[in-house]
Amino acid sequence: MSTFEVEIKFQIVKAQEVEHRLRSLFGNVEFGEPITETDSFFRHPCRNFKQTDEALRLRKRECADGTSEHSLTYKGPKIDTTTKTRQEIELPITEPERWESLLTALGFSPFASVQKFRRHMKLMVNHRHIEIVLDTLPALSESHRTFIEVETLATVEDIEECRTLILGIAKQLELGTPIQESYLQMVLKR
């Protein structure tokens, strides 16, 4: 069964104000510890991911307690223009260096990395797990480096319900106009 990530992203200026609104609107918010994520993106040997709107990445997540986790993720093309809804296949992995060697042996080539400082917030709305993340990208200019994403996972049958739900949460949080650009696109443009 295919899983879709239903996501909407906004640039923000004052993260503390958004956190305050979250606490006052949704009393059941679980705030996570800050982490550092480094995403390494790969080119496909036979098709242009930029043209097909796909992505393949290796992610290293460094936790505050000094531990780290790794994952390999494929992101399919976006399926609508309002949100960043797309198929997502994410696999936890061990031995990331060997995975990178395997990808390279198959013809994939690493071409860019994006680092971000991230804080996860989780809540339940309408019996659905919602994840809200505050991201800071040090590679971007200081006035344009802080973002918030509101997301949940969906099946093909409940994409519309999930899209309506996250758009409603974003409206309640007064987040403004969503952006479609990925962090990779932003970093490559600078």
Each residue's pLDDT tens digit, 115-150: 999 999 999 998 999 999 999 999 988 778 999 999
Q: What's the mean pLDDT in 163-171?
A: 95
Distances (CA, A) of 145 to 112, 149, 165: 18, 13, 26
pLDDT given at position 160: 95
Q: What pLDDT is recorded for position 40?
A: 97
Backbone angles phi, psi at 20, to 5 degrees: -65, -45
**pLDDT tens digits, 51-72:** 999 999 999 999 999 999 999 9
Sorting pLDDT into bands at 50, 70 and 90, what band is 11? very high
Give one DSSP letter per residue of 90-129, joined into a string.
Answer: EEEES-HHHHHHHHHHTT-EEEEEEEEEEEEEEEEETTEE
Distances (CA, A) of 27 to 23, 80, 90, 122: 5, 31, 30, 11
Q: Name, in order, each residue with C-beta under 8 angstroms of 101's C-beta and a sequence gap of 6 or more.
A: none
- Give 49's pLDDT tier (boundaries 50, 70, 90): very high
At 15, give phi and psi (nearest 5°): -60, -35
Fold of 4-183: Hypothetical Protein Pfu-838710-001 (2.40.320)
Distance separating alpha carbons of residues 86 and 76, to the nearest angstrom: 5
Distance of CA 142 to the CA centre of its chain: 20
- Specify the pairing of strand 68-75 against strand 55-62: antiparallel
Buried b (16+ CB within 10 A) or exposed e, 178-187: beeebbbebb
